[in-house]
Structure 1
Amino acid sequence: MGTGKRGLLAAALTVVCAVAVLAAPGTALAAPAPPPGTGSGPAPSPAPLRDKDLEQVRAKLDKLYHDAAVATDAYNAAEEKAKKQSAEIASLNKEITAGEHKLAQLKDEAGATAREQYRTGGMPPTAQFLLSDDPGRVLDGAGLVLQSQQAANHLISERSATQKQLQDYASDAAAQGKKLDADRKAKASAKKKIQQQIDAARKLESSLEETQRQRLAQLEQKAALQAQAAWLDTGILQKIHGKASAAGEKAVAFAADQLGKPYVWGAAGPDSFDCSGLTSKAWAAAGRPIPRTSQEQWRRLKHIDVKDMRPGDLVIYFDDASHVALYIGDGAVIQAPRPGRTVTVAGAGSMPILGVVRPDA
């Protein structure tokens, strides 16, 4: 990790650890002063939104972005399935090509056998042996007949097996094709929903004046600080003493190097990330590939008690496991928050924690 990144990370950790003071009861954030009027007389201006109104706006934005995150997880899951199915179809197509080549060879062998029988008058080897005038060739002839029968049986059996195998491959490819088509449709549907939620959120934000957007940002920060302070007030940080594993240190270092990069839904680097794109790439960089989506990370990785977590563990948020961040120690996480934000350091308790998972358990 570079010196600049390390300094930024240290500064962010200091802020996170000081939130209990910043968000203590009675602490209020001053509303920004209204812009002065212009011209000779008082300029008419819309009635300012009260904090109560802005809180309603913030709640609506939170829901829109949460729904976009859920749809992003669905999109990423469909994308992963589509990639896997495409690879399986490609593999099956190779098997089908190889099977067709083998079947062609068997047909050639059968044709050669038919031509040999025609050359000898169409008389099968058994008849040739029985009509032989040379008793001394009986044993040799018997062996040839047996070999001929075995070869014919093997040829027939191998051709039937190859044809059956080709039918199975074709059936599997057709089934995978249907699944691929279904997941492409699911991905397209999720993409549409993501864009709808993001567009609605941006429209709502753009309807605010600049001073209102600034105040809204203050209220968002205040809510996050208060949530972190409440989490710290439980004394949980005094119980967390886990040290990062070697792989966990690599994952944290990777995540720290991404600070400041933009959130883009469906992205997993190198220039932008969504929440699970960041955590999955961080652990891939540590040599431990993990599931791509936050919901699959929650479902498939080992669950750890919050008091036992260590740097590198993943903190899963909300009841539907729609958000994930990488724990870095001292009550902080690195996360890719939402559209319009960048990869940043935040308090681990600034959002409702569902649980913690460990990729290298």
Structure 2
Amino acid sequence: MAAKKQTAQKQPGKHRKPRRLTARTARARTAARSAAGLTAAAAASVGVIADPGSADAAQNRPTTPSQARAEIDRLYQQSERETQDYDQATTRLRALQRRADEDRTRLARGQAALESTRTALGAVAAAQYRTGAFTESFRLAFSGSPDRFLAQAGALNQVTQAEKHVLDQYGRQVRALTADRAAAEAAVARASAEQQRLAQAKDRIRSDLAQAQHLLSSLTAADQVSLEKAGSTTPPASTAPAPDAVAAAVVAFAEAQLGKPYAWGAAGPDAYDCSGLTEKAYAAAGISLPRTTYQQVDVGRRIPVSQLAPGDLVFYYSGRSHVGIYVGGGKIIHAPHPGAPVRYAPLDSMPISAATRPA
């Protein structure tokens, strides 16, 4: 008996009764198993998504200098398109902000006029109160509910002609104020949405330019020089004379900007993007151009490349996302891309999509 007791003491818990599984414990275990399952599934799904993406990125990465140059050109062209989209959105945002300011001003004027009319109504109402003839029309006007007043004022006819004039004026002002408030709120909402689009455009441009810069830094110094050989700030050996005073002013302005840096979204005086340069060059000649290449290409008349004269605009790529100023001698002046200043370039250094003579 003692031996059995000793054995039992040496092996405590061997025959311990299992703990009762309460409802709370069961729910906790089930939740833990579910969480573990979801975590595993999420990890597996990330693996499925991430691995092919990484493989594609590695597979598409340029492996030769010529491939790197081609990819850099593609990224610069893409960022140029996005820059024009950004410039266009900036123009829209300014217009929307002006509209919002105008709506706010009109709203403030309407509010002031309404208060003036309410003061006049107050004087009439006070007179009615003193004579004991305070009408329902005035009760509605001072009820604090313009909507209720507008809904019921048309059915009220126990007013004098003078009272009716004041009440009608009040009704018109309430309607105008309501419309102005709605317009102001809509303008602010549109401006806010445009600001969000601008932020997204900035992110895309920065991403493309960062990739281009990374690829550029991976090239040898000789390859980097080769990539930039299509441009120079040195005047060409021969140029054609400008056909008129406007063209001469445009070319003179462009030449004065040579060497200034490119900056996306910039329109001088210290830096430019491509359409910012052309806009300001024509402004110097007294001619207003829209902000973006998409709009500038529709100003003036189209001309064949064979008839280009100094001062004409040359648009590049199928999307017309880049523009330069023809200066004669088979050369243009343009703001190329980040890292490259305003400079001369061969007319055919990029695929031409259109040529125009704005004036």
Compute the TM-score of the two structures, normalised by the length of structure 1.
0.68
Find the residue that maps to 2:64 and give its secondary structure: helix
2:184 corresponds to 1:173: yes
- Deviations 1:288-324 (CA, angstroms, capped at 9, x unpaired): 2211111221245543333343322211100011101
- Report the CA distance between 1:168 and its aligned residue: 1.6
Contact 2:216 2:224 survives alignment (8 Å): no
Number of residue pairs aligned between Structure 1 and Structure 2: 269
- Report the CA distance between 1:220 and its aligned residue: 5.1
Structure 2 counterpart of 1:152, from 147, 163, 174: 163
Q: d(CA) in 2 for partners of 1:121 and 1:322?
A: 75
Between the aligned residues of both structures, percent identity stands at 36
2:107 corresponds to 1:96: yes
Contact 1:298 1:316 survives alignment (8 Å): yes
Q: Which residue of 1 aligns with 2:225?
A: 217
Q: Which residue of 2 aligns with 1:284?
A: 283
Q: Which residue of 1 aligns with 2:198?
A: 187
Matches within 5 A, 1:118-157: 118-122=129-133, 149-157=160-168
Find the residue that maps to 2:269 and give its secondary structure: coil
Matches within 5 A, 1:3-14: none
Contact 2:294 2:320 survives alignment (8 Å): yes
Q: d(CA) in 2 for partners of 1:313 and 1:160?
A: 57
Find the residue that maps to 1:345 and give its secondary structure: strand
Contact 1:241 1:308 survives alignment (8 Å): no
RMSD: 2.6
Contact 2:240 2:327 survives alignment (8 Å): no
Q: Which residue of 2 aligns with 1:260?
A: 259
Contact 2:86 2:265 survives alignment (8 Å): yes
- Deviations 1:43-84 (CA, angstroms, capped at 9, x unpaired): xxxxxxxxx932211101100111111111111111111111
Find the residue that maps to 1:112 and give its secondary structure: helix
Find the residue that maps to 1:354 and give its secondary structure: strand
Q: d(CA) in 2 for partners of 1:102 and 1:242?
A: 62
Q: d(CA) in 2 for partners of 1:150 and 1:345?
A: 77
- Deviations 1:229-267 (CA, angstroms, capped at 9, x unpaired): xxxxxxxx9xx9895343332222211111110011111
2:248 corresponds to 1:249: yes
- Report the CA distance between 1:359 and its aligned residue: 2.5
Contact 1:260 1:342 survives alignment (8 Å): yes
Structure 1 counterpart of 2:74, from 63, 69, 80: 63
Find the residue that maps to 1:319 and give its secondary structure: coil
Q: d(CA) in 1 for partners of 2:205 and 2:288?
A: 26
- Deviations 1:198-249 (CA, angstroms, capped at 9, x unpaired): 11111111122xxx23234325536x89xxxxxxxxxxx9xx9895343332
Q: Which residue of 2 aligns with 1:355?
A: 354
- Report the CA distance between 1:351 and its aligned residue: 1.1
Larger radius of gyration: 2
Q: d(CA) in 2 for partners of 1:173 and 1:245?
A: 47
Q: 1:73 is aligned with what amino acid? A: Q
Contact 1:316 1:356 survives alignment (8 Å): yes
Find the residue that maps to 2:341 and give its secondary structure: coil
2:94 corresponds to 1:83: yes
Q: Which residue of 2 aligns with 1:204?
A: 215
Gaps of 5+ in 2: 1-62, 136-158, 233-237
Q: d(CA) in 2 for partners of 1:320 and 1:206?
A: 28
Q: d(CA) in 1 for partners of 2:170 and 2:208?
A: 57
Q: Which residue of 1 aligns with 2:174?
A: 163
- Report the CA distance between 1:330 and its aligned residue: 2.7
Contact 2:278 2:325 survives alignment (8 Å): yes
Find the residue that maps to 1:221 and give its secondary structure: coil
Q: d(CA) in 1 for partners of 2:304 and 2:170?
A: 58
Contact 1:242 1:309 survives alignment (8 Å): no
2:336 corresponds to 1:328: no
Find the residue that maps to 2:113 and give its secondary structure: helix
Q: d(CA) in 2 for partners of 1:192 and 1:288?
A: 33
Compute the TM-score of the two structures, normalised by the length of structure 2.
0.69
Q: Which residue of 2 aligns with 1:38?
A: none
Contact 1:205 1:213 survives alignment (8 Å): no
Contact 2:254 2:333 survives alignment (8 Å): yes
Q: 2:318 is aligned with what amino acid? A: D
Contact 1:89 1:177 survives alignment (8 Å): yes
